[in-house]
Amino acid sequence: MPPSGISRIRFRRGRLKRLAARGLLAVLGGGVLAFLVVPVIAVIPMSFSSSMVFELIPAAPGLTQYRRFFASPEWMDALGRSVQVALGTTVVATMLGTLAALGLVRIRSRWRTVLEAALISARIVPSIVFAVAAYFVFSLVGVVGTIAGLILAHSVLAFPFVVVLVTSALDGFDRSLEEASQSLGAGPIRTFFRITFPQIRLAVFGGALFAFNVSFDEVVVTLFISGVRSKTLPVKVWDAINYEITPILPAISTLIILVSVVLLTPLLLYRRRA
């Protein structure tokens, strides 16, 4: 990629002024970028604290809070449920999202835009609105507080990410290969597994990672539909923030961030390659 236009602006009045302007820009722009990562950077040292007071650099750093987290049956129960729900969501959202993307790219009329908007509309609707709607309907059917209910609701939220990723992968792939395969006598299912899937599997995998991340971090909808019986990790964190001050939270926060970073890394590497 050639250097962008902005970097080539010629500053008329000499090098010094140019340097000053670029320096100022770097300080301002860099400052904003630093502001963006503050919450992420700040929580990690705090999590190694063994005292009740929050310290940026702990006086006696240790793994006390992590040990407390992993030793607590209550927190482990929430973590286990979160993983269960996130795995279920990954399966449901990835399968449905891939199906939707495969169907979507077969449509060549303006209906495609309409359908695409409908399929990803869950990303636009404010989560509180969906939370109230799901809570009301789920209580009528009696799935509030169940793992299945959580998986279904999370899948609605995670599904658009899969659709977007897989659709863009399918758009970039030569569809005449599919026609060739079919004309050589392969059925649609065989064509999918031999021709189409190998081309889009990275996008499907990426969508699955996204789906897991969306579910694992979801809090607003879960707050409503988890009931008292089946709280996920973020809902337990929400309760702890609101009702009890506990120094265990920075450690849990760090772990939640770590999960997302692990999920995100392959996606970022894939993005760079693409």
Partner 1 sequence: MRRRPDWSTLILLGPPLAFLLVLFAVPLARVVWGSFFAPELTLEHYRRMWTVPVYGRVFWITLKVSALTTLFCILLGYPAAYFLASVSARTRQALLLCVIVPFFLSVLVRNYVWMVLLQRTGLVNQALVGAGLIAHPLELMYNELGVLIAMVNMLLPYMIFPLLSALLAISPELYHASSSLGGGAIRTFWRVTLPLSVPGIAAGGLLVFIVALGFFITPALLGGPKQMMISNLIEFNVRQVLNWPFAFALANVLLCGTLLLYFAYIRVLEGRLPKAGFP
Task: Note whether 219 binds partner 1 by CB under 8 A.
Answer: yes
Shortest separation between residue 73's beta carbon and partner 1, angstroms:
22
User: Are 165 and 98 spatial neighbours (Cβ–Cβ below 8 Å)?
Assistant: no
Instruction: Tell me if 23 contacts partner 1 by CB under 8 A.
Output: no
Q: Which of 8, 15, 229, 273 binds partner 1 (CB under 8 A)?
A: 8
Task: Check residue 108 for interaction with partner 1 (CB under 8 A).
Answer: yes
Tell the smallest beta-carbon distance from residue 145 to partner 1 (Å). 14
| Interaction of residue 187 with partner 1, rule CB under 8 A | no
Told to check if 253 binds partner 1 by CB under 8 A, we report yes
CB closer to partner 1, 96 vs 177: 96
The residue within the footprint of partner 1, chosen from 23, 63, 72, 106 (CB under 8 A), is: 106
- Out of 62, 76, 121, 193, the only residue in the binding site for partner 1 (CB under 8 A) is 121
Residue 158 is a binding residue for partner 1 (CB under 8 A): no
If we measure between CA atoms, which residue out of 121, 160, 158, 128 comes closest to residue 225?
128
Q: Does 4 bind partner 1 (CB under 8 A)?
A: yes
Contact 219, 238 (CB under 8 A): yes
d(C-alpha 154, C-alpha 147), whole Å: 10
Interacting residue with partner 1 among 16, 36, 184, 228 (CB under 8 A): 36
Single residue of 83, 87, 91, 133 touching partner 1 by CB under 8 A: 133
Please, what is the minimum distance in Å from the beta carbon of residue 70 to partner 1? 18
Task: Give yes or no for residue 272 binding partner 1 (CB under 8 A).
Answer: yes
Number of neighbours of residue 108 by Cβ within 10 angstroms? 7
Q: Which of 18, 68, 145, 173 binds partner 1 (CB under 8 A)?
A: 18
Tell me, letter by letter, the H, E, C secondary structure of the chain: CCCCHHHHCCCCCHHHHHHHHHHHHHHHHHHHHHHHHHHHHHHHHHCCCCCCCCCCCCCCCCCHHHHHHHHCHHHHHHHHHHHHHHHHHHHHHHHHHHHHHHHHCCCCCCHHHHHHHHHCHHHCCCHHHHHHHHHHHHHHHCCCCCHHHHHHHHHHHHHHHHHHHHHHHHHCCCCHHHHHHHHCCCCHHHHHHHHHHHHHHHHHHHHHHHHHHHHHHCCHHHHHHCCCCCCCHHHHHHHHHHHCCCCCHHHHHHHHHHHHHHHHHHHHHHHHHC
201 binds partner 1 (CB under 8 A): no
Using CB under 8 A, which of 63, 76, 107, 114 touches partner 1? 107
Q: Is residue 273 a contact point for partner 1 (CB under 8 A)?
A: no
Cβ of residue 76: shortest distance to partner 1, in angstroms? 19
- The answer to whether 102 contacts partner 1 (rule: CB under 8 A) is yes
Q: Could you tell me the smallest distance in angstroms from the CB atom of residue 71 to partner 1? A: 21
